[in-house]
């Protein structure tokens, strides 16, 4: 869709998400088309709110958590090219005001919720009236994982087969899991060395281990569907943890090596394994950073908090 005349103002919210079956590797870099399908859970009230308003002048203005961003690179440059997909060259420039209520130190990518909220706000501003599937496919152009942040709850991003990518979008699963908990464990605020975009490309290009990743992801996806269907927490946790560690194995086997872990990450993994050994159904997942995201159930929250007092607990299926 492309339209010249925006409305006066538009605002939208999108949740952050944590993948239980990870997206790692692209078959098309320009369109962010994945090599494997992925499945995530959205984080309810944690995410990004984005407000769009037309402004006078020759350039867009991008504000992130109250700070005006340079348009030269990073998030703001991606935002401007994303907006250009939806407007004519002569169309008014926009102010993009984004607030993340996500603890960035916990290693939650703000690009997923950020581009999903931006896509929802664009749809409102230009009155496109896109379907949820179209919103998801277009959000994917900003950042792959943003396709999943269009929806709440459990979300699957299907790979699609079309060259134009319009069938590579997410869809929400019908199932809910009220006592499902995610714990955000902030271990270190050390800035990550290599971003996801460059990291997954390096893995695809240099890691022989990556060849087995699509098969593993397909099998894990099936197991996670089964676990959700049967509300089998141990199957869900075990599959998600093995999926994350397998993704990290492909990263480590890249060259130059990509090791996102810090000593604190390994210590926390060992603590999770020790607690599990003692009978606590506790699992973890990890993304392209040093922090862990713990997976457990509401009835075990006190025990988990006792072991990890600084944990920020999210109940994705409970209304705020």
List the structure tokens of 159: 């790979």
Closest to 136 (Cα-Cα) out of 169, 112, 164: 169
CB of 73 to ligand 2P0, least distance (A): 15
Asked if 182 contacts 41 with a C-beta cutoff of 8 angstroms, the reply is yes
Closest to 107 (Cα-Cα) out of 262, 291, 252: 291
- Please report which helix (H) or strand (E) contains residue 21, including its range: strand 10-21
What's the CA gap between 121 and 113, in Å, rounded?
A: 12
**Between residues 275 and 287, which has the closer beta carbon with respect to ligand 2P0?**
287
CB of 289 to ligand 2P0, least distance (A): 8
CB of 50 to ligand 2P0, least distance (A): 16
CB of 196 to ligand 2P0, least distance (A): 4
Q: What is the DSSP annotation of 143-185?
A: -GGGGGGGS-SEEEE-----TT-TT--EEE-S---TTEEEEEE
**Between residues 23 and 317, which has the closer beta carbon with respect to ligand 2P0?**
23
Using only C-alpha atoms, what is the Rg of the chain? 19
**Between residues 4 and 218, which has the closer beta carbon with respect to ligand 2P0?**
218
Q: What residues contact 296, with CB distance under 8 A and at least 6 apart?
A: 181, 183, 237, 280, 281, 282, 283, 304
**Between residues 53 and 287, which has the closer beta carbon with respect to ligand 2P0?**
287
CB of 212 to ligand 2P0, least distance (A): 17
Asked if 316 contacts 42 with a C-beta cutoff of 8 angstroms, the reply is yes
CB of 172 to ligand 2P0, least distance (A): 16
**Between residues 24 and 213, which has the closer beta carbon with respect to ligand 2P0?**
24
Angle formed by the axes of helices 132-142 and 74-84, to 10°?
130
Q: What residues contact 52, with CB distance under 8 A and at least 6 apart?
A: 6, 9, 10, 11, 94, 95, 96, 97, 118, 121, 122, 124, 125
- Which residues here bind ligand 2P0, judged by CB under 6 A? 19, 22-24, 32, 38, 109, 111-112, 143-145, 196-197, 287-288
CB of 3 to ligand 2P0, least distance (A): 25
**Between residues 35 and 315, which has the closer beta carbon with respect to ligand 2P0?**
35
CB of 16 to ligand 2P0, least distance (A): 10
Please identify the residue of the shown chain whose CB is closest to the bound ligand 2P0.
Answer: 144
List the structure tokens of 28: 């098309």
């Amino acid at each position: 869709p492309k339209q010249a005349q925006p409305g006066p103002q538009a605002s939208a919210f999108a949740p952050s998400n944590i993948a239980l079956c990870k997206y790692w590797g692209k078959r098309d870099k320009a369109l962010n088309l994945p090599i494997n399908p992925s499945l995530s859970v959205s984080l309810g009230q944690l995410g990004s709110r984005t407000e769009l308003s037309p402004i006078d002048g020759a350039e867009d203005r991008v504000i992130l958590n109250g700070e005006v961003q340079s348009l030269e690179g990073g998030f703001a440059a991606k935002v401007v090219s994303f907006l250009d997909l939806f407007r004519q060259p002569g169309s008014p420039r926009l102010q993009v005001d984004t607030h993340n209520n996500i603890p960035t130190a916990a290693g939650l990518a703000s690009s997923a919720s950020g581009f999903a909220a931006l896509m929802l706000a664009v749809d409102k501003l230009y009155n496109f009236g896109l379907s949820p599937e179209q919103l998801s496919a277009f959000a994917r152009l900003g950042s792959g994982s943003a396709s999943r942040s269009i929806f709440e709850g459990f979300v699957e991003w299907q790979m699609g087969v079309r060259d134009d990518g319009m069938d590579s979008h997410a869809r929400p699963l019908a199932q809910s899991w009220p006592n499902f908990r995610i714990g955000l464990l902030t271990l270190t605020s050390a800035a990550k060395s290599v971003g996801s975009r460059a990291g997954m490309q390096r893995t695809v290009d240099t890691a022989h281990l990556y060849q087995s990743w699509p098969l593993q992801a397909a099998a894990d996806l099936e197991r996670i569907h089964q676990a959700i269907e049967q509300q089998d927490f141990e199957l869900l946790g075990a599959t998600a943890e093995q999926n994350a560690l397998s993704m990290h194995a492909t990263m480590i086997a890249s060259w130059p090596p990509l090791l996102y872990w810090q000593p604190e990450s390994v210590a926390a993994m060992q603590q999770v394994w020790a607690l599990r050994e003692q009978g606590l159904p506790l699992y973890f997942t990890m993304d392209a950073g040093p922090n862990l995201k713990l997976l457990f159930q509401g009835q075990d929250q006190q025990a988990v908090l006792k072991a990890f007092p600084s944990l920020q607990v999210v109940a994705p299926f409970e209304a705020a």
